[in-house]
Amino acid sequence: MRLGNLTLQGSEAQLLGQVALTDACLDLIEKLQEWKLTMDEKWEEGVHDEAINGCLDRLAKLTGLLQFGGMTGDVSWDISARLLRLPQVITPFPTILFFPHRPQGPYCVASDDLDGHIADHRLPTGSDAFRYSEDWKASLAMPNDFSAKSLDLDVPDKPLIFVVEGRYQNWIKPIMLLECLGVDYDAACLDGPTTRTDWFTKIHPQRYVPALIDSENGQRVSSWDSSQILQYLASKYDTEKMWNGQNAAESLEIGNWLTFETASLGPTAKYWVWYAIRQPEEQNPKAQEKMYKDLRTQYGILDKHLSQPGQKWIGLKDRPTIADLAIYPFADDPTMERMGIDKHDFPALKAWSDELAKVPGVAKAYAELDSRKVIHIEA
Are 348 and 283 in contact by the 8 Å Cβ rule? The answer is: no
Angle at 144 between CA 369 and CA 66, to 5 degrees: 95
Task: Please give the average pLDDT of every successive group of 10 residues along the chain, which has 379 residues.
Answer: 36 40 53 46 42 51 41 33 30 33 36 34 31 29 51 84 89 97 92 88 94 94 96 97 97 98 93 80 87 96 98 97 98 91 96 97 93 74
Q: What is the pLDDT of residue 147?
A: 66
Domain boundaries, the chain: 2-137, 144-379
Q: What is the pLDDT of residue 204?
A: 94
Q: What is the pLDDT of residue 351?
A: 98
Q: How far is CA 249 from CA 254, 256, 280, 315, in A?
A: 9, 11, 47, 11
Q: What is the pLDDT of residue 219?
A: 92
Q: What is the pLDDT of residue 28?
A: 55
Q: Which of 70, 54, 131, 124 is nearest to 102 (CA)?
A: 70
Q: What is the pLDDT of residue 243?
A: 98
Q: Are strands 6-7 and 2-3 parallel, antiparallel or unpaired?
A: antiparallel
Q: What is the pLDDT of residue 372?
A: 82
Q: What is the pLDDT of residue 37?
A: 42
Prior bond to 87 cis, omega within 30?
no
Are 160 and 185 in contact by the 8 Å Cβ rule? The answer is: yes
Architecture of domain 144-379 in this structure: Up-down Bundle (1.20)
Q: What is the pLDDT of residue 212?
A: 96
Q: What is the pLDDT of residue 10?
A: 40
